[in-house]
């Protein structure tokens, strides 16, 4: 089976959600399938092309048995909405000719966002006369509206129309959560067209490690109670609550909040922490992939956050890596979110509602005194992940779905 993926990000050394498509493509290639990925030059999160790459019109390389075709796109470090939309639009357009040059596939898979990429996938599926699967990682434009990124009513209506077109024409739609499935059902997408396959973590790569490790030593965290957030510092992440909790807990000398990652909120958060002269909060950039398991292991308590507006349109994949590392979770989100459904089913953490920094600070203090319960919750998360969200399990489900799609007349 020749599987053609259209995905905006693809690089083994990436730190973003591109890791999942990279692992999926490589695993399908190992299972004997011919896999092509049409993508752009790697540039996340800073909007600068990675060393060793160029933003060319067309380039091909082999990575772990996967044929990677890179096409040109507008790449800029600007975080402004028009710059980002132009980036998404130019890649979505160039992916069309990249797909034409990739060879005749048996099935096409396109990732959303960016939503316009689905148009290229639809056109390619009609030209090649093959099924097309739409893989939804974030519900767009719902997620952008919830984040306050998309506010222009005409633009929102345009993307809603495009979304509806893609849902009608995709042969199959794969979503990463049950809440996404429920949202699609409200948009009149037939149940028979939707498949739920969650994102995953690799429990062989992200595994329980000693807490007092080189990462802690390097950042002077030995002997501290470390509350860690690692991921995108975006508009839906409730990170202001962490800053305010750090203010409340300023006198607790042995508590450190560690925020790791990049995103549109980072500069403002750093400026606020500096203005308040908080000695108990540490900002770090994304860490190299090779020390990722050690970094997660350095936490006593890991934060997973999502504001109320985005609770049904986004699903932070970081939750699964935290579970794989056997660290307990403190979720800043609404109790009805799917994040909390997973945490409750696994018995691996607790919840604080967004906009409640006092309760967040109180929870951190209480949990700090319950070390044995933290260890138990962490182990629960690891066990639940191995059964339900492991890499092998989810990739197997994906292969089965694609094979069934190709077998349909």
Give, as one character, the DSSP assignment of residue 278: -
Is domain 214-388 annotated with CATH 3.30.2270.10? no
Q: Is the pTM of this model over 0.85?
A: yes
pLDDT at 12 (0 to 100): 63
* 329-332 and 281-284 beta bridge pairing: unpaired
pLDDT at 14 (0 to 100): 54
User: Is the pLDDT assigned to residue 13 strictly greater than 90?
Assistant: no
Instruction: Give me 17's structure tokens.
Output: 């959600």
- 302 versus 137: which is more confidently predicted? 302
pLDDT at 79 (0 to 100): 75
pLDDT in tens, 361-408: 999 999 999 999 999 999 999 999 999 999 999 999 999 999 999 988
Mean pLDDT of 149-177: 93
H helices of 223-265, where? 239-248
pLDDT in tens, 297-346: 999 999 999 888 777 778 888 899 999 999 999 999 999 899 999 999 99
Right CATH for 2-200+390-407 from 3.40.50.720, 3.30.70.1350, 3.40.50.2000, 3.40.50.150: 3.40.50.2000
Strand order in the sheet with 107-112: 58-63, 66-71, 34-40, 2-6, 107-112, 132-136, 172-175, 194-196
Side-chain-side CA neighbours of 264 within 13 Å: the count stands at 13
Q: Where are the domains of the chain?
A: 2-200+390-407, 214-388
- 317 versus 123: which is more confidently predicted? 123
pLDDT in tens, 190-238: 999 999 999 899 999 999 999 999 999 999 999 999 999 999 888 778 8
pLDDT at 375 (0 to 100): 96
pLDDT at 17 (0 to 100): 59
Determine the Cα–Cα distance for residues 245 and 276; give it in Å rounded to an integer.
Answer: 12
pLDDT band at 409 (very low <50, low <70, confident <90, very high): confident
pLDDT in tens, 248-273: 999 999 999 999 998 888 999 999 99
């Amino acid at each position: 089976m020749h599987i053609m993926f259209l995905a905006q990000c693809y690089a083994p050394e990436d730190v973003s959600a591109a890791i999942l498509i990279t692992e999926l493509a490589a695993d399908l290639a190992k299972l004997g399938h011919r896999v092509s990925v049409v993508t752009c030059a790697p540039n996340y999160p800073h909007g600068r092309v990675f060393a060793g790459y160029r933003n060319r019109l067309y380039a091909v390389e082999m990575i772990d048995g996967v044929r990677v075709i890179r096409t040109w796109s507008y790449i800029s470090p600007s975080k402004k909405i028009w710059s980002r939309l132009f980036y998404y639009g130019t890649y979505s357009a160039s992916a069309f000719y990249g797909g034409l040059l990739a060879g005749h596939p048996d099935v096409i898979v396109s990732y959303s966002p960016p939503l316009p990429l689905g148009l290229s996938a639809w056109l390619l599926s009609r030209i090649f006369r093959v099924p097309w699967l739409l893989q939804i990682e974030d519900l767009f434009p719902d997620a952008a509206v919830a984040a306050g990124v998309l506010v222009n009513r005409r633009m929102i209506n345009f993307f809603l129309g495009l979304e509806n077109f893609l849902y009608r024409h995709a042969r199959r739609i794969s979503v990463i959560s049950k809440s996404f499935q429920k949202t699609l059902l409200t948009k009149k997408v037939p149940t028979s067209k939707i498949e739920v396959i969650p994102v995953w973590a690799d429990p062989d790569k992200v595994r329980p490690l000693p807490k007092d490790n080189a990462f802690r030593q390097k950042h002077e965290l030995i002997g501290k109670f470390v509350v860690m957030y690692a991921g995108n510092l975006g508009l839906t992440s409730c990170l202001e609550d962490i800053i305010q909790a750090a203010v409340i807990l300023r006198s607790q000398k042995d508590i450190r909040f560690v925020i790791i990652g990049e995103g549109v909120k980072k500069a403002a958060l750093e400026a606020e922490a500096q203005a308040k002269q908080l000695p108990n909060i540490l900002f770090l950039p994304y860490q190299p992939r090779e020390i990722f398991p050690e970094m997660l292991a350095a936490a006593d308590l890991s934060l997973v956050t999502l504001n109320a507006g985005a609770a049904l349109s986004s699903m932070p994949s970081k939750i699964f890596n935290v579970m794989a590392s056997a660290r307990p979770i403190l979720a800043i989100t609404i109790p009805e979110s799917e994040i909390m459904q997973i945490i409750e089913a696994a018995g691996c953490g607790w919840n604080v509602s967004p906009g409640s920094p006092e309760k967040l600070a109180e929870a951190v203090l209480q949990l700090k005194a319950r070390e044995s319960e933290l260890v138990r919750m962490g182990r629960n998360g690891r066990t639940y992940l191995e059964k339900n969200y492991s890499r092998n399990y989810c990739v197997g489900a994906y292969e089965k779905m694609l094979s069934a799609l190709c077998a349909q007349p």
